[in-house]
Amino acid sequence: MKKLIMIAVIMQLIPGIANCMQPRYDDTEQKYTWNNGQVTCTFRDTNNPRNFCNLVTAVRRIAVTDGRPGSTENVVDLIGARVWIPRSVTAAARKPGRDALKYINHAQTREIVFELGSILTKLKRFSMQDTCMETLLLPDAVKGLGSECFSGNRRLWHFPLGSGSRLVKLGNGAFGGCSTLRYAKIPGSVEILEIGCFRGCRSLETVTFDPDCRATELGNCFFERCSALRGVKLPRKIEKIGARCFGDCESMEYCDFGEGSATRYIAMRTYEGCRSLTSIRIPAPVKNVGMNNFDGCSQLIFVQFEAGSRLERIDSGTFAPGTEFEGLPDGRWDDVGYGLRWTRTDAEV
């Protein structure tokens, strides 16, 4: 009989809990209250009320800790798929730490909402891996996205950033394997673009770089296997493009470096497998076009070298026989046994 009564009580509570309002912070009593008119959940941290960790309704619980190693968590069961992050949380991390939100790694998480005025500055490694969000608007205060922090998300289709974004870093594989991501915008504040950031984002169609983006390098495999990507216009400050940066971007028709591009180094196999690429313009500062850079680019028939090109060498096997060149400096082609290699012959380089 007692079990039946307990079950009946729980069944009455579940609907209310599932529709909980946002937690409210009481400055006077230094506590959070989650109230929907039927159920009230209170969370208090006597050491530091700003330490509010792992607010994850997707796994039917909220856990609060003071952030110290080995500290005890107070757990309250909840139901839903909405994660609400208070503005006082400063970082999202895999493990709880001082002023840090513990990592959110749950397949049921559909929505993450940051309180207005959030001072969150960093999403650490794996912090939001494998969630099911469809879109996410990060607070402007966020400066860094850690390695694989959004990797494996199967529903995220849009990643907008506000005009006041202070984002500085996109970590290794930050969006790797986000198979439904279609649009991404990289603001001018970004300085670091690490390895494989968008690798395997097979639905990614449009990537917009702010023309004043501060980044000087695109990491290896940055857009690798983005099979729906039609093209990209790179910011002019990019100096180096890593190996297989656009590897197997089968739909990519163009890569626009823009006027006055600072690009001076294009690594090996950068465009390998870009079978829809028909033409490309190589910036003037580039001195070497690496081996097999355009291997598998079966439609590439025209290559233009920017006026004032400082090109010194084209490695063997880079371009298919019959490719048309424009602006290529004076030089000679030599058969090195496994393809033709071009080297510059004039004195000034």
Domain regions of the chain by residue span? 1-108
188 C-beta neighbours (distance < 10 Å), count: 17
Three-state SS at 8? helix
Residue 33 has pLDDT above 60, yes or no: no
Residue 193 has pLDDT above 90, yes or no: yes
Confidence band, pLDDT 50/70/90 cuts, at residue 109: low
CA 120 to chain centre: 17
Sheet holding 324-326: strands in order across?
279-282, 302-305, 324-326
At 123, which amino acid appears? L
At 328, which amino acid appears? L
Give the predicted TM-score (pTM) of the model: 0.74
Nearest to 231 by CA among 281, 285, 287: 281
Task: State mean pLDDT over 1-15.
Answer: 43
Three-state SS at 201? coil
At 11, which amino acid appears? M
Task: State mean pLDDT over 213-223.
Answer: 96
Q: Scanning the structure block, which residue is given the tokens 């028939």?
A: 301
Q: How many CA atoms lie within 13 A of 203 on its CB side?
A: 14
Three-state SS at 93? strand
Using a CB cutoff of 8 Å and minimum separation of 24, what contacts does 24-29 make?
Answer: 25/49, 25/86, 25/88
Lowest mean pLDDT among 41-50, 277-286, 290-299: 41-50
| pLDDT recorded at residue 270 | 94
Nearest to 68 by CA among 46, 86, 87: 46
Backbone φ, ψ for residue 209 (5° rounding) = -95, 135
Three-state SS at 53? coil
* 279 or 83, greater pLDDT: 279
Confidence band, pLDDT 50/70/90 cuts, at residue 91: low
| pLDDT recorded at residue 280 | 96
Question: What mean pLDDT value characterizes the chain?
Answer: 75
| pLDDT recorded at residue 291 | 80
Q: What is the CA radius of gyration of the chain?
A: 26
Instruction: Report which secondary-structure segment, H or E, holds 2.
Output: helix 2-18
Instruction: Report which secondary-structure segment, H or E, holds 7.
Output: helix 2-18
